[in-house]
């Protein structure tokens, strides 16, 4: 998601310039697969992580929230 934010994020929210990955010719999932496929893959991985955490119930709540934050953040 960080690589996606580098492409489409709001510089004011991020507190840094966007586009540095492309400027530095960094290989990223969005660069290789496109933004939509990279986003789909990220959400798929988060769903796998959440499923793995499910057996732990409330004890894993912090990790569940952290995983969701990773894909939902905008800064």
Look at residue 75 in the predicted model and tell me its pLDDT: 72
Domain coordinates in residue numbering, the chain: 2-72
Look at residue 13 in the predicted model and tell me its pLDDT: 86
Look at residue 5 in the predicted model and tell me its pLDDT: 93
Residues 6+ apart with CB under 8 A from 22: 6, 7, 31
Look at residue 16 in the predicted model and tell me its pLDDT: 83
Q: Which residues of the chain have pLDDT under 70?
A: none
CA–CA separation, 18 and 58 (whole Å)? 37
pTM: 0.80
């Amino acid at each position: 998601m960080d690589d996606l934010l580098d492409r489409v994020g709001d510089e004011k929210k991020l507190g840094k310039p966007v586009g540095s990955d492309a400027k530095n010719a960094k290989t990223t999932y969005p660069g290789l697969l496109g933004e939509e496929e990279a986003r789909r893959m990220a959400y798929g991985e988060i769903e796998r992580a959440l499923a793995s955490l499910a057996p732990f119930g409330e004890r894993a709540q912090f990790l569940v929230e952290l995983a969701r934050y990773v894909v939902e953040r905008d800064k």
